[in-house]
Amino acid sequence: MVIVVELGFAWHHSKQPKHARADFEDMLSNNCNSVLIALSEYDMEYWYPNMLAIIDEAKDTGLRVWLNFWAYGGVFGGEPPSIFLHRNSDLRQITASSGEKMPAACINQPEFRKWFFDQIDKIVRDSKVDGVFIDEPHYAWTFSTEEFTCVCDVCQAKYAEAFDGPMPMVYSETVQRFREDNMHQFLVETCQRVKNANAKADVCVCIIPADFEFLGTPNWDRIASIKEVDMFSTDPYYHVFGLEREWAIESARKTIETAKKHGKKSQLWLQLFRLSAGDEEDVASLVPEYVEMRVDSLFGWCYLANKGTTISSDNPDLLWGLVTEEYRRIG
């Protein structure tokens, strides 16, 4: 039986189209049919003409193209610094206890929302992308609900309007509800902006699967049920969280079940970064297991196992070889 699954890798490499094309052709030779292009704020501001050309090159090779607003505003996953935060330090999330300005934009600030939605409108309309990947939306990483965000003037005013009283500076049930409601509404509007820019573009939302309430996205069903979401995704990087491989399997199963429950496609991610030597086969062997579970889309972060970056795995060549070998066996 032939199993049809979307296979690909995230890509954020050379900004010269001819070099990008060579990478895309390499992906094709490894049985990929899709690529996720990670677009940083710097790429959008400085490399915009070439980014459009790179998307064209990927399409021309036959790959399906997802676009990721990589680490935008510090509220999505990724390593790149935010130009928006550099220029708008007054729009950062503020912690309740210490009053610290965090390296993440407040999703309730009108200036941030307008800027981000304008970015979506521009490139989705100008390019030939097939879909937009909403990568790990989250509040600032405080690692605890004791020091939560955001308590800026805009958030406090919204809270007072919603709950008819001042926002407490200690975490509570109403604070939790307020944060989750606001993150949900931000995601709804983000997905709607994608569809308004291109009704044919798919929307995939990827949620961090770890049980961190402070991130603001614990309710998978609520997110997967958003009308404009076409694909529900998680990235169970068990090495990142110091967990066992079985946790990744259970997270994958929950992801697929949640997606099916709401009539959406499912997507899973493989960790190809910061992987310790000796763990390569354990990660590569997830490929056939995820495919056997009937996931609709399977990606690895990222191309060449992050070789040459500060988050490279210990043995990127070995890891890349093992994962692509598993990819070539599918189909």
Domain annotation covers residue 151: no
Mean pLDDT by 10 residues, the chain (331 residues): 80 97 99 98 98 99 98 97 97 96 98 98 98 98 90 98 96 96 98 98 96 87 98 97 96 98 99 97 98 98 97 97 98 71
Domain annotation covers residue 296: yes
Residue/partner pairs of 252-259 with CB below 8 Å, 24 or more apart: 252/286, 252/289, 252/290, 252/293, 252/295, 253/293, 254/209, 254/220, 255/209, 255/220, 255/295, 256/293, 256/294, 256/295, 258/220, 258/221, 258/224, 258/232, 259/224, 259/231, 259/232, 259/296
Q: What is the DSSP annotation of 179-214?
A: HHHHHHHHHHHHHHHHHHH-TT-EEEEEE--S--GG
What does the pLDDT read at residue 4? 67
Domain annotation covers residue 94: no
What does the pLDDT read at residue 1? 40
What does the pLDDT read at residue 146? 84
Tell me the β-bridge partners of 38. 68
What does the pLDDT read at residue 213? 83
Domain annotation covers residue 280: yes
What does the pLDDT read at residue 208? 96
- Number of structural domains (the chain) is 1
Domain annotation covers residue 307: yes
DSSP letter, residue 273: B
Q: Domain of residue 256: give its range.
A: 6-80+105-138+184-328
What does the pLDDT read at residue 3? 60
3-state SS class at 266: strand
What does the pLDDT read at residue 211? 78
What does the pLDDT read at residue 157? 98
- Are residues 105 and 93 in contact, defined by beta-carbon separation less than 8 angstroms? yes
**113, two tokens:** 């929302």
Identity of the residue numbered 82: S
Among 24, 75, 67, CA closest to 217: 75
Look up the CATH number of the domain holding residue 42: 3.20.20.80
Domain annotation covers residue 198: yes
Domain annotation covers residue 46: yes
- Are residues 223 and 235 in contact, defined by beta-carbon separation less than 8 angstroms? no
What does the pLDDT read at residue 254? 98
Domain annotation covers residue 282: yes
Q: What is the pTM of this model?
A: 0.96
